[in-house]
Structure 1
Amino acid sequence: MWITRSRPRPFPLPAWLFVGGLIVMLAMPSLHAGPVTSPAPLPPGEPSAAVLELLERDKLPEGVVFEIIENDRAALSALLPEIRASVARLRERDPDYPVAVVSHGAEQFTLTRREATQHPSLHDEVEALVREEGVNVAVCGTFAGWRGLDAEVFADFVEVADRAPDRLDDYRELGFEVIRLRPSLLDAPPEDPWEFDFGTP
């Protein structure tokens, strides 16, 4: 005897619409669940180890200049929390303590006016460092010239030094201590940036 199996009857169209709509509604967050909360802010940075060592001394140098020279445009952004934390610790010792930053690697090109629309938070943070904390931030005009860029392309809160190495020497003559910062989370090559080609800034 042949046993025949009847084919299951499909849901009528309205039932399919109902089931599909129910699945979509369950998958979506409730419209009445309240506003979406933003992620927690990133933890503040830690001061540079060199700054902590410096603060152990009985007498501080006349000032501190942080040197950044990396073949990675993200280096300045990565180092800003460390710079801010270092400035804060130095200013705990002396509220008027002079601090500067000299950037003369690929990272300096993130401070051009054109980059302000792509990295607005970076520009806001560096400008606040300059205008609110009194930290001088300089880039290298010679390096920019090698890339066909004039001084005018940089944001107006940035000093464009003729040659960054000379600017660092000026600080040394004033009694500043130069501290080179390296971004620990970036795989930056040890060579100097001008040995590399990173394309048009």
Structure 2
Amino acid sequence: MKSRSETLRDAIEEMIAVGKLAPGQHLDETELANAFGVSRTPIRETLIQLSSMGLVVIRPRRGAVVAELGPQQLVEMFEVMSELEAVCARLAARRMTKAEQEALLAAHGACKRAVDDPDEYYTLNETFHQAIYAGSHNHFLIEQARSLYRRLRPYRRLQLRVRDRVSNSYAEHDAVVQAIVKGDGELAAQLMREHVMIQGQRFADLMASLPQLTAAAA
């Protein structure tokens, strides 16, 4: 069972991920305390935890705000994310058990059924990637990949709202899955790197979509 602190952290993290709390938005402790029916103390503790995760910035005497990532930071973080996930895919191709492969195929199938619903696909997409992380059987790598994934959740979600991105994402998943099941680690890594990395038109599309994060929370 989750503690109250864990429940609060997960709830506020999810609000950031789905855009209910936008990058740069001030986080009023009293408002959050009232919304969750708790005192300000657990809210303050939760914001400190989220700050350590990079999702919140606490400014002396000015309170906390949702962390903002500039274009350069986004490029750098997606660059690292693509490499972490490439390693996960390479190791998963070598180490996944039959049961883990079946779980990956099930997650992939669920994504296929959600290609017409970007929000549903986003949730299932996370399950898909987590299955590959788990298949790497490298706990330190899994921890690092999950941590960075959390920081990039709002932006990965936003990417899926770009026209045709969901269908393209699913096609890319399919190629990754085939490489993993066949045990081709190098191909799986290459395909996963290309799937996650943002550059060229994909970067331009993401930059053009950023104002939606603020609009969604307004």
Does the pair score TM above 0.5?
A: no
Bigger-Rg structure (1/2): 1
Bigger fraction of residues in helix = 2
**TM-score bucket of the superposed structures, by smaller chain:** under 0.3
- Structure 1 length as normaliser, TM-score? 0.22
Bigger fraction of residues in strand = 1
